[in-house]
Amino acid sequence: MGALNQLLNLFFICVAYYFYQSYVYKRPSYKEVVNIRPRYDFIIVGGGSAGSVLAARLSENASRTVLLLEAGDSDLGQPELYTPTRVSELFLSRFDWAYYTEPQKHSSLGLEGRRFINYMQWSRGNRKDYDMWAQHGSKGWSYTDVLPYFIKSEDFITKGKINAEQRGTTGPIKVTEIKGFELSQDFIDAATILGYPERDYNDGEQEGVARTQVNIFRGERWSASRAYLWPAAQRDNLDIVTGATVHKVLIENGRAVGVAYSQRGQRSTKLHQAKSIREVVVSAGAFGSPQLLMLSGIGPRQHLEALKIPTVADLPVGNNLQDHILTVVFVKTNSSRGAPSPSSYHQLEYQVFGTGLLSSPGGNVGLAYMKSRPALPQPDIQMILGDTLIGKRFMKLMPGLSTEMIQRWNIDLDEPGFMLLPTFLPCRSRGTVRLRSSNPLDHPAIDPAFLEDEQDVEGLVRGIRLAEQLINTDALKRHGSHVDKTPLPGCETIQFDTDSYWRCYVRHLGVTSHHAAGTCKMGADDDVTAVVDSRLRVKGLSGLRVVDASIMPLLISANTNAPTIMIAEKAADIILHDNTH
């Protein structure tokens, strides 16, 4: 009877799947733009998180025309983009810009830049982050100022009680709490033993532990494109052009009047032009936005002159590059408490019901914001609980970690265990983005200066010590949890578990979180280090703004996706206000 029941269950799942695909689930489509209009009210460069929000919000008024130019292809009909557990397949795929950094003096690793790719973690940061922005000259960007836009952007779905003063329930982005695995609750218990409350870490205060909040709904990634752009894509006043690489912003008499772009990245002397009536908004990300500004003559004069690019505005574009660095602690246990290996059953369960193993990103099933020193005013460590299923892919795809080194390390990720990934949040190192050439199809020269500031190294070492404290609690110790002691190649001669060993470890195994920000810094009018003012207008020019993570004056204490969406929501209101009054 057991085998018969399994066959019947499989039959009903297949029938349900057929019905779902045939009659229920219909994806939207973008209308193909053959010929663009002579002029648009607004031109948006970049269809990522910020660009998707802007395109949707600015086109809500049917009398305003909007053109969105995206260098990549449409994300419609790409199941690997929307299946959470397949996220690690996207690294170094066609969906990945795969920007490589300049050789790093203080770190072995060096890959930056993702398109569509993040682990779907929904984190706002700490209220003090935004208050610091305001204190440093970004008027109107305190936590009180930005909170309404966080609320506006999200639809928080939880079984627990919702704090209506802090959380949104009617916004486009669906935010849910990840179910995780058995180990998730053990991780929460371990953190509470250390004195961290179980709480909603998106309440502004942040310090505590919880199951990870993610922008996943019904088993699929709920990206800004899906939440904002898909519903707006059929509007008559919104045109979307994909495969469009913008070469420069057209400036006339100190005003942005349009852009020049090519299709599908072809090297061609004949460029298309799109003209703007009101504004050009650059939303190409922390690498793409400074690159485009510099190609347009907006940037450090000496650098532009070296490339024979006429200077339109001498501004510190490309400075102030910041990113979070994390490392990984591999933990062995005497019993498997993590995720099982995917099977055909899991695939069917996911396709029909949107639940089960494939509905989770796996690499982030529990999250804690912790203080490595009790006297700190806010958490300085983000601690992620990850499963070793992701760890196997993580090792293979880690930039700078060669196959030879992985083989030499010989760490066994098939044994029962899990990962703890501490991130040092108050990044001290500052890098730069520069042009390699005047060719817009060449990737920019990215020097993040990973771990250049010794405080970043010491912060990660303290993060590892916090991971060890979690491992040594009764909640995790009862599973025989212990740090894998396989020596990391390059650090073998240093005594294991000393601070010196862990310093060596993080320099070899410190990894970008892909939270690049700050390269078109926002600041006060008299701030000579700022590129845009508090209304995100490029200084010294009119009709040109930057709206994305590049405007962050200081990197927030969290992942950058939710704050970037907030920035775009607020920017849309600013732009509409400034073009009405």
Q: pLDDT confidence of 512, banded at 50, 70, 90?
A: confident
pLDDT value, residue 310:
97
Residue 154 within a domain = no
Q: Is the pLDDT of residue 315 over 50?
A: yes
DSSP state of 23: I
Residue length of the chain: 581
Please give the structure tokens belonging to residue 290. Answer: 């400074």
| Mean pLDDT value of segment 343-355 | 60
Q: Is the pLDDT of residue 418 over 50?
A: yes
pLDDT value, residue 416:
77
Q: Which residue has the tokens 């590059």?
A: 321
Q: Are residues 366 and 278 part of one domain?
A: no
Of residues 394 and 34, more confidence is placed in 34
Q: pLDDT confidence of 411, banded at 50, 70, 90?
A: low
Q: Are residues 186 and 93 part of one domain?
A: yes
Residue list, annotated binding site: 246
Residue 474 within a domain = yes
| Mean pLDDT value of segment 489-514 | 92
The residue among 512, 542, 570 that closes a domain is: 512
pLDDT value, residue 202:
96
Give the number of other CB atoms < 10 A from CB of residue 410: 9
Q: Are residues 572 and 437 part of one domain?
A: no
- Answer for the pair 558, 207: CB distance below 8 angstroms, yes or no: no
Q: Is the pLDDT of residue 543 over 70?
A: yes
pLDDT value, residue 376:
96
Sign of the C-alpha dihedral computed for residues 489, 491, 497 and 502 taken in this order: negative
pLDDT value, residue 340:
56
Is 515 labeled as catalytic in the residue annotation?
yes
Tens-place pLDDT, residues 9-33: 555 555 555 444 443 344 555 666 7
Please give the structure tokens belonging to residue 186. Answer: 């053990």
Residue 159 within a domain = no
Q: Is the pLDDT of residue 78 over 60?
A: no
Q: pLDDT confidence of 222, banded at 50, 70, 90?
A: confident
Among candidate residues 324, 479, 508, 515, the one labeled active-site is 515
- Say how many domains are in the chain: 2
| Mean pLDDT value of segment 487-491 | 88
pLDDT value, residue 26:
47
DSSP state of 516: -
Q: Is the pLDDT of residue 72 over 50?
A: yes
pLDDT value, residue 557:
96
Q: Is 528 exposed, middle or buried (0-12, 13-18, 19+ CB in 10 A)?
A: exposed
Q: Are residues 342 and 276 part of one domain?
A: no
pLDDT value, residue 395:
57
Residue 143 within a domain = no
The residue among 488, 512, 536 that closes a domain is: 512
Q: What is the pTM of this model?
A: 0.89
Smallest CA-to-CA distance from 209 within 360, 370, 425 is with: 370
pLDDT value, residue 359:
58
Smallest CA-to-CA distance from 571 within 231, 234, 282 is with: 282
Residue 441 within a domain = yes
Q: Are residues 530 and 424 part of one domain?
A: no
Average pLDDT, the chain: 85
Residue list, annotated binding site for FAD: 246
Q: Are residues 542 and 409 part of one domain?
A: no
Tens-place pLDDT, residues 515-540: 999 999 999 999 999 999 999 999 99
DSSP state of 225: I
pLDDT value, residue 33:
76
CATH number for the domain harbouring residue 469: 3.30.560.10
C-alpha torsion angle, residues 517, 523, 527, 530 (rounded to 10): 40
Q: Are residues 403 and 276 part of one domain?
A: no
The residue among 487, 512, 537 that closes a domain is: 512
CA angle 296, 300, 303 (to 5 degrees): 85
Q: Is the pLDDT of residue 268 over 70?
A: no
CATH number for the domain harbouring residue 532: 3.50.50.60
Q: Are residues 335 and 445 part of one domain?
A: yes
Smallest CA-to-CA distance from 465 within 433, 494, 436, 505 is with: 505
Task: List all residues 6 or more positions away from 17 whose beta carbon is below 8 Å from its beta carbon.
Answer: 348, 351, 352
pLDDT value, residue 208:
97
Tens-place pLDDT, residues 90-148: 555 555 555 666 555 545 444 443 444 566 889 999 999 999 999 999 999 999 999 99
Cα 535 from Cα 140, distance rounded (Å): 9
Q: pLDDT confidence of 217, banded at 50, 70, 90?
A: confident
Q: Are residues 386 and 342 part of one domain?
A: yes
Residue 301 within a domain = yes
Out of 72-81, 257-266, 436-445, 495-504, least confident range: 72-81
Q: Are residues 246 and 231 part of one domain?
A: yes
- Range of 478's domain? 85-120+175-222+323-512
Residue 25 within a domain = no
| Mean pLDDT value of segment 424-443 | 95
Q: Is 555 exposed, middle or buried (0-12, 13-18, 19+ CB in 10 A)?
A: buried
Q: Are residues 505 and 460 part of one domain?
A: yes
Q: Are residues 494 and 412 part of one domain?
A: yes
Give the number of other CB atoms < 10 A from CB of residue 454: 12
Please give the structure tokens belonging to residue 532. Answer: 């845009």
Of residues 485 and 82, more confidence is placed in 485
Residue 419 within a domain = yes
Q: Which residue has the tokens 């590049």?
A: 550
